[in-house]
């Protein structure tokens, strides 16, 4: 889990520096946008479901949950598991929420939720269901998302994977 800076240690450092705060500085923003790749998603072979055991397209949400919300988060996952596993959009599959055991980059978040899709349009359908206050599955997904740490500095990531056999390279 990611620890945020200790406020007491920061205050102590300021006292040791006799109240001297370093001058503000500016550094150029280095933005990395990884889009425009030459991978295109093909229609499922034979027009049906993909042969992939997890779906043609996987999305992995990486995020932090504030430590004081961990017990409520675990309780929610246990109570909402059946609802999350029964999506109101055919072709979407909730593959679970996991705690990260080991990773090379701590900024990616300590939890992962993984979704399987058969086609891209299901992502739009999922968004509509999450926005629908009368959809039980959508409400469960929205509640899951509300556990994410809203702090700008909190770890967060998203990865989209597609079956190599369903990709035009």
Run means of pLDDT, 10 residues per run, the chain, 169 residues: 65 74 76 58 57 75 95 97 93 93 83 90 92 95 94 87 75
DSSP H helices in the chain: 7-16, 70-84, 121-131, 136-146
Domains of the chain (ranges; CATH) run 34-168 (3.30.70.100)
pTM: 0.70
Token reading at 124: 């739009």
d(CA 24, CA 110): 31
Rounded to whole angstroms, how far apart are CA atoms 50 and 117? Answer: 10
Task: Please answer whether residues 109 and 62 qualify as being in contact, where contact means their C-beta atoms are separated by less than 8 angstroms.
Answer: yes
């Amino acid at each position: 889990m990611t620890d945020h800076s200790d406020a007491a240690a920061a205050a102590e450092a300021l006292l040791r520096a006799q109240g001297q705060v370093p001058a503000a500085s500016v550094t150029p923003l280095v933005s990395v946008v990884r889009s425009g790749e030459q991978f295109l998603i093909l229609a499922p072979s034979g027009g049906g479901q993909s042969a992939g055991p997890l779906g043609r397209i996987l999305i992995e949400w990486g995020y932090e949950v504030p430590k004081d919300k961990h017990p409520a988060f675990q309780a929610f996952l246990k109570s909402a598991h059946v609802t999350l596993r029964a999506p109101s959009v055919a072709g979407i599959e909730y593959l679970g929420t996991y705690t990260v055991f080991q990773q090379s980059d701590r900024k990616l978040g300590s939890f992962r939720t993984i979704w399987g899709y058969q086609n891209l349009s299901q992502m739009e359908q999922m968004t509509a269901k999450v926005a629908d206050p009368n959809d039980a599955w959508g409400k469960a997904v929205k509640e899951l998302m509300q556990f994410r740490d809203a702090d700008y500095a909190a770890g967060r990531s998203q990865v989209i994977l597609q079956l190599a056999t369903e990709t035009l390279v």
